[in-house]
Amino acid sequence: MRRNKITVVGAGNVGATAAHWCVAKELGDVVLIDVVEGIPQGKALDLMQSNPLDGIDSWVKGTNSYEDTADSDVCIITAGIARKPGMSRDDLLNTNFKIVSTCAESFARYSPNAIIIVVSNPLDIMTYAAWKASGFPSNRVFGQAGVLDAARFRTFVALELGCSFEDVNALVLGGHGDTMVSVLSHANVGCIPITKLISPERLAEIVKRTAHGGAEIVDFLKTGSAYYAPSAACVLMAEAVLKDKKRIMPVAAYLNGEYGAKDLYTGVPAIIGGSGVEKVLEIDLTPDEKAGLDRSIQAVRDLMKVVGLA
C-alpha cells in the first residue's frame, strides 16, 4: 500500500519542527526541502535516526531539488524570512511574496494533484500568492491562520481560569495579524459561554494578547520567531487532509462572496478534508465582530495591492 508523502518547504525552525510532528504522528513519509545545501539533508537524517527510538517507520529525505518532492499528497510551505523584533508580519511582504511564489510554482510542477498549506507570513497574502503561482483550484490551497491564533487564545483563557486547555473552544477570524478578530460570541469553556466566566476587561486583554501573540514571542527570542505552535497547527491541518477527517477549523480560505468578500484569502471557519477546503462556513457574528472582520478583510486587500494582487 502506498504511504502518504508530505513535502515541507523550508528547513528552518518551523519547517524542521513541522517535519518532526509529521513523523511523530506517522502521517507518512516526509521530504524536507530548502535552498541551503546541507541543512535539509542533515536535519532529515537526524530526524530519521530518531525513528528506532520512537518505534516509528516514516522515511525522511532532505533535498535541494523539487524533483524529490514528486507525487506528494500535501505540501507545507514555511519558506521565507522570519520576523525580527520590531517587525510586523507585513514587513515581510515583498521578500516572502517572491519566495513563496517560486516555491509553489516549483512544487506544483512535480505534484499537480497535491494540497498546499501555507505558513509563511504575511499569511493571507502568501496563501493567495501560492494559489496563483501553483495554478491549483482554490480549495486545494489554504493557509494556517485561525488554527494557530485560536490555540493562543485558548491557552490564555485556560491560564486565566486554571482549567484544561482541551475544554476551551474558540474561533479567531480575519487576517493573520494585528486586525484578527477573536469571536467571543462563539467562545466557550466546557460548553459555558466565555462571557459568563471572564470579565469584559480581562477578555479584552486576552483578545489583545492573542493578536500580538507572535510578536510577544519574537520580543522574547530576539533572533527568531515562534515555531512550536505554528508547526503543530499546520500539521494538524495536514492530518485533517491526509485522514479526510472533515475537521471544522478556522483557516485562511478563498472567499467568493462569503462574509461579503470576493477574490481573497482570509481566516474563516471551514470543513477541512481530503480535498482541502470542502466548505466555508458562514456563522452569525455580532455587529462589532462583523465590523472587525470587515476591517481585517480590508487590511488584507490593502496589502494585496502592494504586490499587485488587487
Residues annotated catalytic, as ranges: 176
CB 56 within 8 A of CB 3: no
Residues 72, 3 contacting (CB under 8 angstroms): no
For the chain, the DSSP string reads: -PPPEEEEE--SHHHHHHHHHHHHTT-SEEEEE-SSTTHHHHHHHHHHTTHHHHT----EEEES-GGGGTT-SEEEE--SPPP-TT--GGGGHHHHHHHHHHHHHHHHHH-TT-EEEE-PSSHHHHHHHHHHHH---GGGEEEE-HHHHHHHHHHHHHHHHT--GGGEE--EEB-SSTT-EE-GGG-EETTEEGGGTS-HHHHHHHHHHHHTHHHHHHHHHSS----HHHHHHHHHHHHHHHTT--EEEEEEEEEESGGG-EEEEEEEEEEEETTEEEEEPP----HHHHHHHHHHHHHHHHHHHHTT--
Residue among 291, 266, 293, 297 at smallest CA distance from 280: 266
Cell matching residue 151: 490555540
